[in-house]
Amino acid sequence: MATIAKEERIEVRLAALEKKRFKVAADLLDLNLSEFMLASAREAAEHALASQTRFVLPARQMQAFYGSAGPTSEAPAGVARVVREAQRL
């Protein structure tokens, strides 16, 4: 598996109690603190992005949704940007 160069850095200020809590959680998962923070941030980002790109509708509302988007209708403003950003991930 190819290794991706890590060239960027993020600094976080936090209370000592928060750091201790994160360290305990990282230890439980056999990760160092940096790995734990990165994995947690990645998971939160995936959740946030998914909540903006996926939604569930009851069957009747889904039919109405598809029916309202005819073959010539354009996507709502911002959708193309979100799709492009999601594809880069």
Q: pLDDT digit of tens for each residue in the chain (89 aa)?
A: 677 888 899 999 999 999 999 999 999 999 999 999 999 999 999 888 887 776 777 888 877 777 765 555 566 666 666 666 666 66
Which residues, in sequence order, are CB contacts of 36 under 8 Å at separation 6+?
22, 25, 26, 29
Question: Which of 84, 23, 22, 15 lies closest to 53, judged by CA?
Answer: 84
Structure tokens at 44: 């939160």
Query: Residue 6: its pLDDT value, please?
Result: 84
CB 52 within 8 A of CB 82: yes
Inter-CA distances, 72 with 68, 76, 80, 83, Å: 11, 13, 16, 19
